[in-house]
């Protein structure tokens, strides 16, 4: 993968909840076509936002408990976490500027 950090139940607290910066979390799956369309945007944002925000990816097939915990019903679903709490949520493939705008609103 690229600059986005793969997250599961083992490292979720450390990577997402305890992060000192806003975190964009992409809930995705290997078989999901729209997720694959969103992947280059998410990876690109991970590089662009390095040091100011963190970008993580959660494979819902490998981390079903996390998907259930945040009521992820369809993918791709993007969450923005700040100070250990979800502060924004986006569902579906959104244009890069819209995602960036939402992250920047929480920085």
Which entry of 25, 32, 45, 99 is annotated as an active-site residue? Answer: 32
Q: Is the pLDDT of residue 1 over 60?
A: no
Q: Nearest CA to 25 among 65, 54, 50?
A: 54
All structural domains of the chain? 5-104 (3.40.30.10)
Q: What is the pLDDT of residues 7-45, one digit of tens each?
A: 999 999 999 999 999 999 999 999 999 999 999 999 999
56 is an active site residue: no
Q: How many CB atoms lie within 10 A of CB 24?
A: 26
For residue 42, report the phi and psi dihedrals to the nearest 5 degrees. -65, -45
Model's pTM, two decimal places?
Answer: 0.96
Which entry of 23, 35, 58, 67 is annotated as an active-site residue? Answer: 35
32 is an active site residue: yes
Q: Nearest CA to 27 among 8, 10, 41, 11?
A: 8
What band does 2 get if pLDDT is binned at 50, 70 and 90? low
């Amino acid at each position: 993968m690229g600059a986005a950090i793969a997250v599961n139940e083992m490292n979720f607290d450390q990577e997402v909840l305890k992060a000192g910066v806003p975190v964009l979390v992409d809930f995705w799956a290997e078989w999901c076509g729209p997720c694959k369309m969103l992947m280059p945007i998410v990876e690109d944002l991970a590089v662009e936002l390095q040091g100011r925000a963190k970008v993580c990816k959660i494979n819902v097939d490998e981390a079903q408990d996390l998907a259930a915990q945040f009521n992820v019903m369809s993918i791709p679903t993007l969450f923005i976490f700040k100070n250990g709490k979800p502060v924004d949520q986006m569902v579906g493939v959104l244009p890069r500027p819209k995602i960036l705008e939402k992250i920047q609103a929480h920085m």
